[in-house]
Structure 1
Amino acid sequence: MTALHDIEVFYDGDCPVCRWEVRFYSRMDQDHRVRWTDIETLRDEALPAQKTRADLLGRFHVRDIAAPKDDHGTDTEWHIGVEAFARIWQVLPGFRHVAFLFEVHGIRQLTLIAYRLFLKWQSWHRRRRSR
Protein backbone atom coordinates (compact mmCIF):
# COMPACT_ATOMS: atom_id res chain seq x y z
CA MET A 1 0.00 0.00 0.00
CA THR A 2 1.35 3.43 -0.88
CA ALA A 3 0.95 6.49 1.27
CA LEU A 4 -1.21 8.01 -1.47
CA HIS A 5 -4.23 5.81 -0.78
CA ASP A 6 -7.03 7.68 0.96
CA ILE A 7 -9.61 4.91 1.10
CA GLU A 8 -9.92 1.16 0.81
CA VAL A 9 -12.89 -0.25 -1.11
CA PHE A 10 -14.04 -3.78 -0.32
CA TYR A 11 -15.91 -5.22 -3.29
CA ASP A 12 -17.40 -8.55 -4.36
CA GLY A 13 -15.09 -9.77 -7.11
CA ASP A 14 -17.66 -12.41 -8.12
CA CYS A 15 -20.33 -9.78 -8.82
CA PRO A 16 -20.30 -8.72 -12.49
CA VAL A 17 -21.73 -5.26 -11.71
CA CYS A 18 -19.15 -4.74 -8.95
CA ARG A 19 -16.28 -5.77 -11.25
CA TRP A 20 -17.54 -3.38 -13.93
CA GLU A 21 -17.73 -0.51 -11.43
CA VAL A 22 -14.24 -1.20 -10.09
CA ARG A 23 -12.82 -1.19 -13.64
CA PHE A 24 -14.66 2.05 -14.39
CA TYR A 25 -13.53 3.82 -11.22
CA SER A 26 -9.98 2.41 -11.44
CA ARG A 27 -9.47 4.08 -14.81
CA MET A 28 -10.32 7.42 -13.20
CA ASP A 29 -8.07 6.78 -10.20
CA GLN A 30 -4.84 7.97 -11.86
CA ASP A 31 -3.46 9.20 -8.52
CA HIS A 32 -4.06 5.82 -6.84
CA ARG A 33 -6.22 7.33 -4.11
CA VAL A 34 -8.23 4.11 -3.80
CA ARG A 35 -7.07 0.69 -2.68
CA TRP A 36 -9.35 -1.94 -4.26
CA THR A 37 -9.77 -5.13 -2.20
CA ASP A 38 -11.62 -8.11 -3.63
CA ILE A 39 -13.42 -9.74 -0.71
CA GLU A 40 -13.60 -13.09 -2.51
CA THR A 41 -9.79 -13.36 -2.71
CA LEU A 42 -9.13 -11.98 0.78
CA ARG A 43 -7.82 -14.55 3.26
CA ASP A 44 -9.77 -14.82 6.53
CA GLU A 45 -6.82 -13.55 8.57
CA ALA A 46 -6.64 -10.46 6.34
CA LEU A 47 -10.24 -9.41 7.03
CA PRO A 48 -10.51 -6.06 8.82
CA ALA A 49 -10.94 -6.18 12.59
CA GLN A 50 -14.55 -6.60 13.70
CA LYS A 51 -15.71 -7.39 10.14
CA THR A 52 -16.71 -10.77 8.76
CA ARG A 53 -16.75 -11.82 5.13
CA ALA A 54 -20.57 -11.88 5.37
CA ASP A 55 -20.56 -8.27 6.67
CA LEU A 56 -18.42 -7.11 3.77
CA LEU A 57 -20.41 -9.04 1.17
CA GLY A 58 -23.77 -8.03 2.64
CA ARG A 59 -23.35 -4.29 2.12
CA PHE A 60 -20.79 -2.18 0.31
CA HIS A 61 -17.93 -1.07 2.62
CA VAL A 62 -15.31 1.66 2.27
CA ARG A 63 -12.91 2.68 5.00
CA ASP A 64 -10.67 5.68 5.37
CA ILE A 65 -7.11 4.37 5.45
CA ALA A 66 -5.68 7.14 7.58
CA ALA A 67 -8.60 7.06 10.03
CA PRO A 68 -7.83 6.69 13.72
CA LYS A 69 -8.54 3.45 15.54
CA ASP A 70 -10.62 3.14 18.68
CA ASP A 71 -9.37 1.69 21.99
CA HIS A 72 -9.83 -1.85 20.62
CA GLY A 73 -7.81 -1.25 17.43
CA THR A 74 -10.96 -1.11 15.30
CA ASP A 75 -11.19 1.27 12.36
CA THR A 76 -13.44 4.19 13.22
CA GLU A 77 -14.15 5.59 9.76
CA TRP A 78 -16.31 3.14 7.84
CA HIS A 79 -18.69 4.20 5.08
CA ILE A 80 -21.36 1.61 4.32
CA GLY A 81 -23.95 1.38 1.55
CA VAL A 82 -24.77 4.64 -0.20
CA GLU A 83 -22.28 6.49 2.04
CA ALA A 84 -19.56 4.23 0.61
CA PHE A 85 -20.37 5.36 -2.94
CA ALA A 86 -20.36 8.99 -1.77
CA ARG A 87 -16.91 8.49 -0.22
CA ILE A 88 -15.52 7.06 -3.48
CA TRP A 89 -16.91 10.02 -5.38
CA GLN A 90 -15.24 12.41 -2.91
CA VAL A 91 -11.76 11.15 -3.82
CA LEU A 92 -12.11 10.57 -7.57
CA PRO A 93 -11.51 13.34 -10.09
CA GLY A 94 -14.56 13.93 -12.21
CA PHE A 95 -16.84 12.98 -9.34
CA ARG A 96 -15.52 14.93 -6.35
CA HIS A 97 -17.31 18.11 -7.42
CA VAL A 98 -20.69 16.37 -7.56
CA ALA A 99 -20.34 14.08 -4.51
CA PHE A 100 -22.55 16.51 -2.59
CA LEU A 101 -25.50 15.11 -4.59
CA PHE A 102 -25.62 12.17 -2.16
CA GLU A 103 -26.65 14.67 0.51
CA VAL A 104 -29.52 16.24 -1.46
CA HIS A 105 -32.69 14.83 0.13
CA GLY A 106 -34.62 13.66 -2.96
CA ILE A 107 -31.53 12.31 -4.69
CA ARG A 108 -30.38 10.55 -1.52
CA GLN A 109 -33.77 8.85 -1.17
CA LEU A 110 -33.60 7.64 -4.78
CA THR A 111 -30.06 6.29 -4.31
CA LEU A 112 -31.15 4.46 -1.16
CA ILE A 113 -34.05 2.83 -3.00
CA ALA A 114 -31.83 1.91 -5.96
CA TYR A 115 -29.19 0.49 -3.61
CA ARG A 116 -31.74 -1.66 -1.77
CA LEU A 117 -32.97 -3.04 -5.10
CA PHE A 118 -29.39 -3.76 -6.13
CA LEU A 119 -28.75 -5.60 -2.84
CA LYS A 120 -31.75 -7.85 -3.51
CA TRP A 121 -30.48 -8.60 -7.01
CA GLN A 122 -26.94 -9.19 -5.77
CA SER A 123 -28.14 -11.56 -3.02
CA TRP A 124 -30.17 -13.53 -5.55
CA HIS A 125 -27.19 -13.59 -7.94
CA ARG A 126 -24.80 -14.77 -5.18
CA ARG A 127 -27.18 -17.63 -4.24
CA ARG A 128 -27.45 -18.62 -7.89
CA ARG A 129 -23.63 -18.60 -8.30
CA SER A 130 -23.14 -20.78 -5.24
CA ARG A 131 -25.38 -23.60 -6.57
Structure 2
Amino acid sequence: MRQRTAAREHPARDPGRPVYVISVAAGLVRAHPRTLRIYEVEGLVCPARTPTNIRLYSENDIRRVLWIRHLTQNLGVNLAGVRVLFELEERLGARILETLYPEPPAETAEPDEGSVAGAAPAAAAAGRA
Protein backbone atom coordinates (compact mmCIF):
# COMPACT_ATOMS: atom_id res chain seq x y z
CA MET A 1 0.00 0.00 0.00
CA ARG A 2 2.83 2.37 0.80
CA GLN A 3 4.33 1.97 -2.68
CA ARG A 4 1.09 2.92 -4.42
CA THR A 5 0.87 6.13 -2.40
CA ALA A 6 4.48 7.01 -3.21
CA ALA A 7 3.85 6.42 -6.91
CA ARG A 8 0.89 8.82 -6.89
CA GLU A 9 2.84 11.50 -5.03
CA HIS A 10 5.78 11.42 -7.45
CA PRO A 11 4.48 11.08 -11.01
CA ALA A 12 6.98 10.85 -13.84
CA ARG A 13 8.52 14.26 -14.45
CA ASP A 14 8.26 15.96 -17.82
CA PRO A 15 11.77 17.23 -18.71
CA GLY A 16 10.24 19.93 -20.90
CA ARG A 17 8.07 21.39 -18.14
CA PRO A 18 9.42 24.78 -16.99
CA VAL A 19 9.69 24.78 -13.19
CA TYR A 20 12.93 26.48 -12.07
CA VAL A 21 13.18 30.24 -11.53
CA ILE A 22 16.47 31.79 -12.63
CA SER A 23 18.07 31.75 -9.16
CA VAL A 24 17.40 28.03 -8.74
CA ALA A 25 18.50 27.25 -12.30
CA ALA A 26 21.71 29.23 -11.75
CA GLY A 27 22.37 27.26 -8.58
CA LEU A 28 21.82 23.96 -10.35
CA VAL A 29 24.36 24.78 -13.06
CA ARG A 30 26.71 26.66 -10.70
CA ALA A 31 26.56 29.87 -12.68
CA HIS A 32 25.53 33.44 -11.97
CA PRO A 33 21.99 34.37 -13.03
CA ARG A 34 23.55 37.01 -15.30
CA THR A 35 25.24 34.17 -17.23
CA LEU A 36 21.85 32.60 -17.92
CA ARG A 37 20.52 35.96 -19.10
CA ILE A 38 23.49 36.31 -21.48
CA TYR A 39 22.82 32.83 -22.88
CA GLU A 40 19.22 33.90 -23.47
CA VAL A 41 20.23 37.16 -25.20
CA GLU A 42 22.62 35.17 -27.41
CA GLY A 43 19.76 32.83 -28.37
CA LEU A 44 21.37 29.75 -26.85
CA VAL A 45 18.62 28.99 -24.35
CA CYS A 46 15.00 30.11 -24.38
CA PRO A 47 13.31 29.74 -20.98
CA ALA A 48 9.55 29.96 -20.70
CA ARG A 49 7.98 33.05 -19.15
CA THR A 50 5.17 33.39 -16.65
CA PRO A 51 2.39 35.93 -17.20
CA THR A 52 4.42 38.27 -14.96
CA ASN A 53 7.51 37.75 -17.18
CA ILE A 54 9.50 35.58 -14.76
CA ARG A 55 11.86 33.14 -16.49
CA LEU A 56 11.18 29.46 -15.85
CA TYR A 57 13.74 26.83 -16.84
CA SER A 58 12.97 23.17 -17.58
CA GLU A 59 15.20 20.13 -17.08
CA ASN A 60 15.95 20.31 -20.82
CA ASP A 61 17.02 23.95 -20.43
CA ILE A 62 19.28 22.98 -17.50
CA ARG A 63 20.91 20.23 -19.59
CA ARG A 64 21.43 22.67 -22.45
CA VAL A 65 23.06 25.23 -20.12
CA LEU A 66 25.33 22.53 -18.69
CA TRP A 67 26.35 21.59 -22.26
CA ILE A 68 27.02 25.27 -23.09
CA ARG A 69 29.18 25.60 -19.97
CA HIS A 70 31.11 22.43 -20.86
CA LEU A 71 31.77 23.68 -24.39
CA THR A 72 32.88 27.13 -23.24
CA GLN A 73 34.82 26.25 -20.09
CA ASN A 74 36.33 22.87 -20.91
CA LEU A 75 36.69 22.99 -24.69
CA GLY A 76 37.33 26.70 -25.20
CA VAL A 77 34.43 27.28 -27.59
CA ASN A 78 33.09 30.85 -27.59
CA LEU A 79 29.35 31.60 -27.60
CA ALA A 80 29.30 32.22 -31.36
CA GLY A 81 30.86 28.78 -31.83
CA VAL A 82 28.29 27.23 -29.50
CA ARG A 83 25.52 28.80 -31.60
CA VAL A 84 27.03 27.33 -34.78
CA LEU A 85 27.29 23.90 -33.16
CA PHE A 86 23.64 24.02 -32.08
CA GLU A 87 22.56 25.09 -35.59
CA LEU A 88 24.54 22.23 -37.13
CA GLU A 89 23.06 19.79 -34.64
CA GLU A 90 19.55 20.98 -35.53
CA ARG A 91 20.18 20.67 -39.28
CA LEU A 92 21.72 17.23 -38.87
CA GLY A 93 18.75 16.12 -36.78
CA ALA A 94 16.35 17.34 -39.47
CA ARG A 95 18.27 15.44 -42.16
CA ILE A 96 18.27 12.27 -40.11
CA LEU A 97 14.50 12.55 -39.68
CA GLU A 98 14.06 13.14 -43.41
CA THR A 99 16.15 10.05 -44.12
CA LEU A 100 14.30 7.88 -41.61
CA TYR A 101 10.84 9.16 -42.53
CA PRO A 102 10.82 10.25 -46.18
CA GLU A 103 7.67 11.85 -47.54
CA PRO A 104 5.61 9.49 -49.72
CA PRO A 105 5.60 10.37 -53.42
CA ALA A 106 2.77 12.70 -54.42
CA GLU A 107 -0.08 11.18 -56.43
CA THR A 108 -0.33 12.53 -59.97
CA ALA A 109 -3.70 13.88 -61.11
CA GLU A 110 -3.32 12.71 -64.71
CA PRO A 111 -3.36 8.96 -65.45
CA ASP A 112 -0.63 7.39 -67.55
CA GLU A 113 -1.44 6.68 -71.22
CA GLY A 114 -0.95 2.97 -70.68
CA SER A 115 -3.28 2.81 -67.68
CA VAL A 116 -6.81 1.48 -67.82
CA ALA A 117 -8.36 4.90 -67.18
CA GLY A 118 -6.39 6.46 -70.04
CA ALA A 119 -7.05 3.56 -72.42
CA ALA A 120 -10.86 3.79 -72.37
CA PRO A 121 -11.18 7.26 -73.98
CA ALA A 122 -8.48 6.38 -76.51
CA ALA A 123 -10.30 3.15 -77.48
CA ALA A 124 -13.62 4.97 -77.82
CA ALA A 125 -12.03 7.60 -80.06
CA ALA A 126 -10.42 4.89 -82.20
CA GLY A 127 -13.78 3.13 -82.60
CA ARG A 128 -15.42 6.31 -83.95
CA ALA A 129 -12.74 6.91 -86.54
Q: TM-score, normalised by structure 1?
A: 0.29
Q: TM-score, normalised by structure 2?
A: 0.30
Higher helix proportion (structure 1 or 2): 2
Question: Considering only CA atoms, is the larger Rg found in Structure 1 or Structure 2?
Answer: 2
Using CA pairs below 8 Å that are at least 6 residues apart, which structure has the higher relative contact order? 1
Higher strand proportion (structure 1 or 2): 1
